Amino acid sequence: MVPAVVLSAATPATADEVNASYNVWTWNVAGWKMHRGATGNGLITVLANSIRNRKADFAALNELCWSQYKAVQSNLRASGWPAAVENFSRFQEHNSTHCNGEPFGLAIFSRQPMGPADRFPLAPDGSSERRQLLCAPLEARPHLRFCTTHITPSNDVIGGVKINERQLGEVLTVVENYHAAGDTVIIAGDFNAQPDYGRMNPWYSRNLDVPLNGGNRGDYRELDDTHADSPGYGETTVADGDTSGPDGQGKKIDMIFVREDRIVGAYTGDSLSISTACGGACSDHRILIGTVTVRVTT
């Protein structure tokens, strides 16, 4: 676990705000690429156990097949993890038939009951996937929203703009619109960009200016951006053997962002080793976890 960073002293909540702490968990499970939609090879057990063991309040899954989504639902429901067994998850397809005729996409899970989901299609990247941003509030705290997205890996120029930059901008616009409406947003997922890439500068806080991540002009902190060995960058989130990150370390492309002015006190992040209990590696990505206290409008 990385050391915590303190942005400001913990401030008592005002009459119209509450300070609330959350454990966040996200994983790109390569549900079709590596598992071909399987639900009985250990993947569901591994990920559901991790969600429980890490005491996650929110969980996001990328590259998930529909049958896998339903299996995760069943596992978490049977264990008593959600407070509301019929209202704790949302799914959004990227393709309706990618998993041998089943939908393929992303999902969010919440320990507490969720409100109605918002679904935002992102600009097409020319592939068979229509990538999305999926967000939902807590039913009891409608100004607290949890979101996930999976940005395209494509660097193609479409309509005069690199498509990955366009999608990142679309997602940022949505979360900033939420902020303008008084909402606190926690967004987790696969951004398919390393922290020091120029296309992430509009995201990372302008107050973060370190050798591994400078030139930022945004308002967000990534919960692993204080990693002791790679401050401003974080720990790798991909399989061992990758050397495309700083100083030959593995790259980080999975992230958990929170707007800096909504963070209270310390936050932490960590990347977990990939389980091999799925007849081999369970994914080509690591699980990313984080803990943060945020101010939420009541």
Q: What is the CATH number of the domain that holds 123?
A: 3.60.10.10
pLDDT above 60 (res 2): no
With CA atoms as reference, report the closest residue to 93 among 124, 125, 126, 69: 69
How much is the pLDDT for 243?
Answer: 96
pLDDT at residue 15, rounded to an integer: 65
Tokens describing residue 201: 């500068």
Position 27: which residue type?
Answer: W
Question: 73: helix, coil or strand?
Answer: helix
Q: What average pLDDT does the chain have?
A: 96
What pLDDT does 247 receive? 85
For 197, phi then psi, to 5°, come to -70, 145
pLDDT in tens, 265-290: 999 999 999 999 999 999 999 999 99
Nearest Cα to 184, choosing from 232, 130, 220? 220
pTM of the model: 0.95
Q: What is the mean pLDDT of residues 247-253?
A: 94
Quote the strand ranges of the chain, DSSP E: 5-6, 17-28, 58-65, 89-99, 102-110, 118-121, 132-137, 144-150, 157-158, 161-162, 184-190, 220-222, 254-259, 263-272, 287-297
Residue 131, amino acid:
R
pLDDT over 70 percentage in the chain: 95
For residue 13, name the pLDDT band (cuts at 50, 70, 90): low
State the CB neighbour count (10 A cutoff) for residue 298: 13
Per-residue pLDDT of 73-101, as tens digits, reads: 999 999 999 999 999 999 999 999 999 99
Cβ distance 288 to 27 under 8 Å? yes
- Note down the domain range covering 94: 5-297
Number of domains the chain is built from:
1
